[in-house]
Amino acid sequence: MFPAPELSANSTTPVGRNVVRKEGMGKVLGRAQYIDDLVLPDMLHGATVRSTIARGRITNIIFSPTIDWSEFVIVTARDIPGKNTIVHLAEDHPCLADGFVNHPEEPILLIAHANKAVLHHAIASIQIDYEAMPAVFTIEESEAQKTIIWGDDNTFKSYLMEKGDVDAAFAAADYIVEAEYRTGAQEQLYIENNGCIAEWSDTDGITVHGSMQCPYYLHHALMLAFDLPADKCRVIQTETGGAFGGKEDFPSVIGTHAALLAKKAGRPVKIVYDRGEDMAATTKRHPSRTRHRTAVSKDGRLLGCEIDFAIDGGAYMTLSPVVLSRGTIHAAGCYHWPAVRVRAKAMATNVPPHGAFRGFGAPQSLFALERHMDKIAKVVGITPEELRRRNFLHTGDQTATCQVVKDPIDLDAMLTKTLTAADFHAKQARFATENKTSPIKRGMGFASFFHGAGFTGSGERRLNSLVKLEVDHEGRVVLLVSSTEFGQGTNTILCQVAAQSLNIPYEQVLIAQPDTHRVPNSGPTVASRTAMIVGKLVENACANLLATLRTAPNNLREHYTPQEFCAAALHHRNEHGTLEAEARYQSPGDIFWDDDKYKGEAYPAFGWAIYVAEVAVDTRTYQATCTNFWAMQEVGKVLHPVLAAGQIEGGVAQGIGYAIYEKCEWRDGALKNNQMTNYIMPTSADLPNIHVLFEEIPSIHGAFGAKGIGELPMDGPAPAILNAIEDALGIAFNQCPLLPEDVFERMTRTHDGGSEDLQPAIAGPYFSEATA
C-alpha cells in the first residue's frame, strides 16, 4: 500500500516520506548489540530464586550441602542498602521478599556465578519452606474481602467519573440494556527477553545497561534501593528487541537485582531471563470485568450509562492506577452521552503483578463498550451501524469527561469509507445466504473507537519533560532525549522532525543512545506520547536553536541553505565551545484536568478509528479465524507512512491474538502455559490481509500535526472480531480470548436433552433487558 523506504533522504523535507530507519542498517547487518550480546570483563551471571506458593510466611531456607556455595554470590533482602522496594507509583512492591511472599514467582534470593550453566542446578538445590496462608485469585474473591491481602479492602485504586443526571436518564429510558464482559491477561511476548548488566564502582556508583523503555524509571528505582544521589546512578538503554509496555516498569526489578549482585560481587553481573521465566514472572495485561447498564430511547439515542469497570492488579500496585485511569476515561468511547457514571477499581490478587501493555486499560473497557453497542442495536431493532451513526461524537460535543471535541473529526465519513473499502454490506448479505448451508459460517463486524495521546490529564505537567539538541564537531545535530527505540521508529521520526524543522538533510541529524548521564528526562516512551509530545518538544528546541543562530554575530538569514546552517553552527560552536538548545514542556492554556472531580481535558488530542473484521467459524472444529481486516485511523500527520502502517499492522496482529488465540492459564496464581509451545499466539500464517487506511487531521499539539499512533490499533480488533462472530453464528460472546472450546460449549449447550438452536445475540450470557 505504501512505497518502500527511500534509500536517500537528502531532501530537507523528510516528514511524510519513507526515509531509511536510523537503526535499520545495524539490525539488518547484524551489527546491533542486544543485552545478551554484551560481555564485560570478569562478568558473572545472575539468577533469581523465586517463591513456589501464592501467599505465605517464609519459615526456613536450606542450602544443599552438595554445592560449594562459597563459589556463589548470594543476595537477600538484608543486603539492600536503601529501601527494600521497587518504586513505581507506590512503595508496596518489595525488591526481595523479606519473610513473606504474596505471589508465585516472587523473588526471594539472588545468586550469581561465573558459569551460567550451573545456575539452574543451584536454584533447584535451595529449599524454601513456607507457612502457607489463604490466597485470593480473582476479582470477585478480592471484592468479597474474606481475606485481606492489601490495605483495608484489597483495592489499589478507585475512580468515580460522572457527567449529567444519570438517574434522570434511566427514568426517561425506553430500554435499559445490561450485560457483563470479561477480558483475560495477555503476555507482551516481545522477541527479546528481559535482561540487564550492572556494574558497581565505589567511586562512581551503579551503572546498569538494559533492554528497556524508560531509563529514568530504573534510575529512580536504583536511587531508592541503594540510597544514592542521582549522579551515582546511571542507566543506559541497549538495543531493545520489542517491549509493548512489558519493559516499562519491569526493568526496575531486573535492573535493581543485577545491581545488588554487582555491588556485593564487586564484578559486573548479567541477568537475562529465559522465555519460561520471563513469561511466568513478569507483568501481563490486566484481566478485566466490565458491567454495563445503559439507558436508550426507542429511536436509538444513548441517554445515559452506568459502567462498573474492574481490573485485576495482581499482588502489588505497580502501574495499575494509570491503567485503570485510561480504561475509565475510554469506557464511554467515541459517543455523545448526556449522562455518564463510571465506577472503576483495581483489585489486589495473589498473582504476579499485572502492568503496562500497549493500550493499557483502553482495550479492556473498549472491548466491553463495542460489544455492548451491538447488543443495544439488537434490542432497539436497528443495525449496529445506524446506532453508532446516531450517537457519534462530533466537533463541539463533549466527551464523557466534559472535554469539548475541538478537532474537525467526522466519524460518519470515516465509517462510510471503511465499510465501503471492506464491501461490508454486500459481504454481509452474501454470507447470510451462504451460512444457511455451509459448515463454515462467515460474518462481518466492526468497532468504532478513539485513544488519547499523551499522559492522562495533568500527567504531562507533572512529567515536565525536557529535550536538548547539540551540534557536534562536524556540524551535525544530535538529539538528546530519553525516548527509546524498541522497534516502533522513535529514532527515525524524531530525526525527521528535527531535520525538517532545521531545513537540513535527514542524514545530518543523529540521536544519542539514551543514557541518564547524558540525556535529559523527556519522559517515558509510553502512552502514545513520543510523536506528539516529545516530537513537539524537538520542534520547539529546533526553533530555539535557530533563534540563537539568527542573532549576532551569526546572523543566519531567514531563508538559508543547509550549507549555510552548517557554517553558522560550526562558527558558533568554535567561538563558544558548544552549541546547544533545549525545550521544556509547557502545558497548553486550554488543557486542564481536575484530578479531584475527575473531569476536564483528559488528553491534548485523540486518535480516532474504525476497524472492520471479516471472520469464518468452522462449525466442525469450532475454530474462529479472522480472514480479512480493514483498519482506518485518523492520527494527525503521518510522519513516516511505512512505519505508521507497520504500527497498525502489528497492533492489529496483537489484537487478533487477544481476541481468539492468547489465553493465560492460571493455577493457584501461577501461569502454567509459560512456553511458546503452550501459549498460543497467531503466526503470520494465522493472520489475514490487514488493509491500512489513514485520515490526516493535523493537531496543533504534535510535531507537524502528528498525534499518537502506537496504542490505537490494540483497542479495536477484539470487539470487531467478536461482533463479526456474532454476525456469523447469531450467538453473542462476551469474553475474550474466545477459544474453540468456548464456541463449542455455547453451540452444543443443551436444554432438556436436546441441542440448543443458535440463539440471537440478545440471548447471550450476562444479558438482561428491561423496558422502563
Q: Which residues of 96-115 are buried (b: 16+ CB within 10 A; e: fewer)?
A: bbeeebbbbbbbbbbbbbee
Q: Are strands 205-210 and 288-296 parallel, antiparallel or unpaired?
A: unpaired
Report the pLDDT value the prediction gives residue 590, as an integer from 0 to 100.
77
Number of other residues whose CB lies within 10 A of the CB of residue 151: 11
Q: Which residues of 408-422 are buried (b: 16+ CB within 10 A; e: fewer)?
A: ebbbeebbebbbeeb
Does position 14 have pLDDT exceeding 80, yes or no? yes
Q: What is the DSSP-derived secondary structure letter of residue 355?
A: -
Helix axes 411-421, 424-434, angle to 10 degrees: 50
Distance from the Cα of residue 528 to its chain's centroid: 9
Report the pLDDT value the prediction gives residue 456, as an integer from 0 to 100.
85
One-letter-per-residue 3-state SS of 58-74: EEEEEECCCCCHHHCEE
Q: What is the DSSP-derived secondary structure letter of residue 92?
A: -
Cβ-based neighbours of 249, under 8 Å, separated by 6 or more: 88, 214, 217, 283, 318, 319, 355, 356
279 and 299 Cβ atoms separated by less than 8 Å: no
Does position 621 have pLDDT exceeding 50, yes or no? yes
- Region 394-413: mean pLDDT is 96
Report the pLDDT value the prediction gives residue 770, as an integer from 0 to 100.
41
Could you tell me which residues are beta bridge partners of residue 73?
112
What does the angle CA 499 – CA 501 – CA 502 come to, to the nearest 5 degrees?
A: 65
Which one is predicted more confidently, 198 or 457?
Answer: 198
Q: How confident is the model at residue 473 (pLDDT cuts 50, 70, 90)?
A: very high
Report the pLDDT value the prediction gives residue 734, as an integer from 0 to 100.
97
Q: What is the mean pLDDT of the chain?
A: 94
Distance CA 370, CA 375 (A): 9
* Strand, helix or coil for residue 478: strand
Number of other residues whose CB lies within 10 A of the CB of residue 438: 13
- DSSP H helices, 78-214, are 119-124, 139-144, 166-171
365 and 329 Cβ atoms separated by less than 8 Å: no
Instruction: Calculate Rg over the CA atoms of the chain.
Output: 27
Distance CA 198, CA 205 (A): 10
Cβ-based neighbours of 203, under 8 Å, separated by 6 or more: none
Cβ-based neighbours of 121, under 8 Å, separated by 6 or more: 67
Distance CA 44, CA 73 (A): 9
186 and 664 Cβ atoms separated by less than 8 Å: yes
128 and 105 Cβ atoms separated by less than 8 Å: no
Of 452, 397, 406, residue with least CA distance to 607: 452
- Region 206-223: mean pLDDT is 98
Does position 753 have pLDDT exceeding 70, yes or no? no
Cβ-based neighbours of 4, under 8 Å, separated by 6 or more: 18, 642
Report the pLDDT value the prediction gives residue 705, as an integer from 0 to 100.
97
Q: How confident is the model at residue 98 (pLDDT cuts 50, 70, 90)?
A: very high
Does position 245 have pLDDT exceeding 80, yes or no? yes
Q: Which residues of 487-524 are buried (b: 16+ CB within 10 A; e: fewer)?
A: bbbbbbbbbbbbbbbbbbbbbbbbbeebbbeebbbbbb
Q: How confident is the model at residue 758 (pLDDT cuts 50, 70, 90)?
A: very low
- Region 358-365: mean pLDDT is 97
159 and 324 Cβ atoms separated by less than 8 Å: yes
Which one is predicted more confidently, 495 or 591?
Answer: 495
Amino acid letter, 660: I
For the chain, list the domains and their CATH numbers: 24-32+465-584 (3.30.365.10)
Q: Above pLDDT 70, what percent of the chain?
A: 96
Does position 482 have pLDDT exceeding 80, yes or no? yes
Report the pLDDT value the prediction gives residue 750, as an integer from 0 to 100.
67
What does the angle CA 721 – CA 725 – CA 726 come to, to the nearest 5 degrees?
A: 120
**Four-residue CA torsion sign, 596, 597, 600, 604:** positive
pLDDT tens, residue by residue, 302-326:
999 999 999 999 999 999 999 999 9
Prior bond of 737 cis (ω within 30°): yes
Of 209, 212, 242, 208, residue with least CA distance to 222: 208
Cβ-based neighbours of 663, under 8 Å, separated by 6 or more: 184, 673, 680, 737, 739
pLDDT tens, residue by residue, 23-63:
999 999 999 999 999 999 999 999 999 999 999 999 999 99
pLDDT tens, residue by residue, 486-528:
999 999 999 999 999 999 999 999 999 999 999 999 999 999 9
CA distances from 691 to 1, 427, 634, 653, 710 (A): 8, 16, 14, 12, 17
- Region 450-471: mean pLDDT is 93
Could you tell me which residues are beta bridge partners of residue 161?
342
**Four-residue CA torsion sign, 154, 156, 160, 161:** negative
44 and 263 Cβ atoms separated by less than 8 Å: no
Report the pLDDT value the prediction gives residue 589, as an integer from 0 to 100.
78
State the number of CA atoms in the 13 A half-sphere of 516 facing the CB.
26
Does position 591 have pLDDT exceeding 90, yes or no? no
pLDDT tens, residue by residue, 667-716:
999 999 999 999 999 999 999 999 999 999 999 999 999 999 999 999 99
Number of other residues whose CB lies within 10 A of the CB of residue 740: 14
Distance CA 210, CA 197 (A): 6
Report CA dihedral (734, 280, 282, 602) to the nearest 10 degrees.
0
Cβ-based neighbours of 745, under 8 Å, separated by 6 or more: none
- Region 359-387: mean pLDDT is 98
Of 758, 342, 762, residue with least CA distance to 770: 762
- Region 552-562: mean pLDDT is 91
What does the angle CA 337 – CA 343 – CA 344 come to, to the nearest 5 degrees?
A: 120
Distance CA 609, CA 443 (A): 20
- Region 232-236: mean pLDDT is 98
Does position 761 have pLDDT exceeding 60, yes or no? no
Backbone phi and psi for residue 3, each to the nearest 5 degrees, phi listed first: -65, 160
Q: How confident is the model at residue 757 (pLDDT cuts 50, 70, 90)?
A: very low
Distance CA 175, CA 302 (A): 10
* Strand, helix or coil for residue 573: helix
Does position 350 have pLDDT exceeding 50, yes or no? yes
Distance CA 603, CA 514 (A): 26
Report the pLDDT value the prediction gives residue 751, as an integer from 0 to 100.
56
Distance CA 482, CA 170 (A): 49
- Region 578-597: mean pLDDT is 91
Write the DSSP assignment of 620-638 as a string of letters. TT--EEEEEEEEEEE-BS-
Distance CA 211, CA 236 (A): 9
Residue 457 gets the label, from left (phi > 0), alpha (psi -120 to 50) or beta, of left
Number of other residues whose CB lies within 10 A of the CB of residue 65: 8
Q: How confident is the model at residue 6 (pLDDT cuts 50, 70, 90)?
A: low
Amino acid letter, 391: N
Report the pLDDT value the prediction gives residue 12, as an integer from 0 to 100.
79
pLDDT tens, residue by residue, 155-213:
999 999 999 999 999 999 999 999 999 999 999 999 999 999 999 999 999 999 999 99
Report the pLDDT value the prediction gives residue 8, as an integer from 0 to 100.
46
